[in-house]
């Protein structure tokens, strides 16, 4: 799998500089950037400021807020100099992404208050693509980024948006910048970084559509797996996630999670929801572990963490799971996690944990 990373940041910035370089002799302070309230000069500064802020947060391992500084240009900086600043801040973000471990997360407010290196790269690419579009529109310049960049931004940051046949037009629509046949106009939007739920020894790391696609096709999804992983159940679950994404009904917080061991960064299994809560507030979950990871209590630990997270929500009142009749180890995991056997539903025993 080609993870969203430094190369994509570099490509997005190069496209920005190439497009806007044709208008460096214009007065950017007098031209409004597309549908924004900012002029093109303000928008370009904003792009550079975001790129360096993302690099700083990731490099500085920011926890609760942005690193407290702001980009300021020297007096008299012309448009060529401003584009050089965008190139430089883009290079800083690209280098930071390339040299940061996949496990590292740092502060970003949307929507779960953290992002990993791929998330910061995707946000940087999104800022560059969208605001280059805004500035090019204001300046009357042609601009269309590579479709693969737009597609990656959607698959990393917009898991709740049904992908369309043209990724760039879909991204513009999803951010309120254009129309899309058959879809209502977007008047408010946020992107979504993936959710991570901490457990005692594990992190439950939300799998994004781009990663699910790779898992379904036989790849590693961007994770480093323990020997024998990922197990078949995780690949199947990734396929269901991908189908929900392509159908426009995926809710990322009720998706699939890789179980990543915190001490060495290795993924040992998967866990996730079959769907969002039903009308009665019930969610069904499934899980698996690679054979080499079994017998260490990881499944029980992950199940407790996911169930606790779900039952703390207002829209979940019970968590439900079924097992094969002969799968005594899985039934024992559910019992240890506090679930109660409620029936022999379908082909196997059913277990439930209700909100207190």
Token pair in block for residue 8: 């994509």
Q: Which residues pair with 206 in a beta bridge?
A: 257
pLDDT at 107: 98
| Residue 1: inside a domain | no
| Residue 334: inside a domain | yes
Distance of CA 128 to the CA centre of its chain: 17
Same domain assignment for residues 165 and 211: no
Q: Which residue has the tokens 């209502």?
A: 184
| Residue 336 pLDDT level (bands cut at 50, 70, 90) | very high
| Residue 182: inside a domain | no
Is the pLDDT at 344 greater than 70? The verdict is no
Same domain assignment for residues 50 and 83: yes
Asked if 166 and 61 touch (Cβ cutoff 8 Å), the reply is: no
| Residue 189: inside a domain | no
Q: Which residues, 6+ apart, have CB-to-CB distance to 264 below 8 Å?
A: none
List the CATH number of the domain containing 33.
Answer: 1.20.120
Mean pLDDT of 99-126: 97
Same domain assignment for residues 150 and 213: no
User: What is the pTM for the complete model shown?
Assistant: 0.96
Same domain assignment for residues 251 and 295: yes
Mean pLDDT of 22-26: 98
| Residue 125: inside a domain | yes
Asked if 321 and 350 touch (Cβ cutoff 8 Å), the reply is: yes
pLDDT at 1: 61
Token pair in block for residue 236: 């199947």
pLDDT at 345: 54
| Residue 234 pLDDT level (bands cut at 50, 70, 90) | very high
Mean pLDDT of 106-113: 96
Residue closest to 155 by CA, chosen among 221, 56, 105? 221
In the chain, the number of structural domains is 2
276-301: pLDDT as tens digits = 999 999 999 999 999 999 999 999 99
List the CATH number of the domain containing 252.
Answer: 3.40.630.30
| Residue 348 pLDDT level (bands cut at 50, 70, 90) | confident
Same domain assignment for residues 91 and 224: no
Same domain assignment for residues 147 and 204: no
| Residue 347 pLDDT level (bands cut at 50, 70, 90) | low
φ/ψ of residue 335, rounded to 5? -65, -45
Average pLDDT, the chain: 96
Asked if 135 and 44 touch (Cβ cutoff 8 Å), the reply is: yes
Percent of the chain with pLDDT over 70: 99
Same domain assignment for residues 40 and 170: yes
Is the pLDDT at 346 greater than 70? The verdict is no
Same domain assignment for residues 249 and 293: yes
Same domain assignment for residues 32 and 140: yes
| Residue 111: inside a domain | yes
Q: Which DSSP letter does residue 351 get? A: E
| Residue 316: inside a domain | yes
| Residue 148: inside a domain | yes
Secondary structure (3-state) at 289: strand
pLDDT at 111: 94
How many residues are given for the chain?
A: 356
Angle between helix axes 117-139 and 40-59 (nearest 10 degrees) is 170
Residue closest to 307 by CA, chosen among 243, 251, 233, 257? 257
Mean pLDDT of 65-74: 96
Give the range of the structural domain holding residue 121, as residue numbers without chain letter. Answer: 6-174
Mean pLDDT of 331-345: 89
pLDDT at 2: 76
Same domain assignment for residues 168 and 216: no
First to last CA, the chain: 42
Asked if 313 and 274 touch (Cβ cutoff 8 Å), the reply is: no
Token pair in block for residue 22: 């044709």
Same domain assignment for residues 146 and 231: no
Same domain assignment for residues 140 and 25: yes
């Amino acid at each position: 799998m080609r993870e969203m990373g430094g190369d994509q940041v570099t490509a997005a910035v190069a496209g920005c500089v190439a497009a806007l370089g044709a208008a460096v002799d214009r007065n950017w302070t007098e031209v409004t950037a597309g549908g924004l309230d900012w002029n093109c000069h303000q928008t370009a500064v904003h792009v550079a400021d975001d790129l360096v802020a993302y690099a700083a947060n990731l490099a500085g391992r920011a926890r609760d807020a942005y690193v407290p500084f702001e980009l300021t240009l020297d007096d008299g900086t012309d448009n060529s100099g401003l584009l050089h600043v965008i190139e430089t801040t883009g290079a800083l973000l690209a280098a930071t992404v390339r040299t940061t471990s996949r496990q590292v997360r740092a502060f970003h407010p949307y929507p779960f208050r953290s992002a990993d290196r791929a998330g910061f790269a995707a946000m940087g690419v999104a800022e560059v693509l969208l605001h280059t579009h805004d500035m090019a529109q204001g300046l009357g310049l042609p601009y269309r980024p590579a479709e693969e960049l737009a597609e990656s931004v959607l698959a990393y940051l917009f898991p709740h948006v049904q992908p369309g046949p043209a990724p760039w037009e879909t991204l513009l629509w999803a951010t309120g910048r254009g129309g899309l046949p058959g879809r209502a106009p977007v008047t408010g939007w946020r992107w979504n970084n993936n959710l991570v739920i901490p457990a005692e020894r594990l992190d439950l790391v939300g799998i994004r559509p781009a990663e699910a696609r790779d898992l379904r096709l036989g790849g590693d999804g961007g994770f480093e797996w323990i020997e024998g992983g990922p197990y078949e159940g995780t690949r199947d679950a990734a396929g269901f996630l991908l189908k929900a994404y392509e159908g426009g009904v995926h809710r990322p917080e009720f998706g699939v999670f890789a179980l990543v061991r915190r001490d060495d960064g290795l993924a040992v299994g998967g866990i996730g929801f079959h769907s969002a809560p039903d009308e009665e507030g019930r969610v069904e979950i499934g899980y698996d572990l690679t054979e080499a990871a079994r017998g260490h209590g990881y499944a029980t630990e992950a199940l407790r963490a996911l169930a606790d997270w779900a039952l703390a929500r207002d829209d979940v009142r019970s968590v439900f799971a079924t097992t094969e009749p002969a799968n005594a180890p899985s039934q024992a995991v559910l019992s240890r996690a506090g679930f109660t056997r409620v029936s022999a539903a379908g082909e196997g025993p059913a277990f439930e944990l209700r909100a207190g």
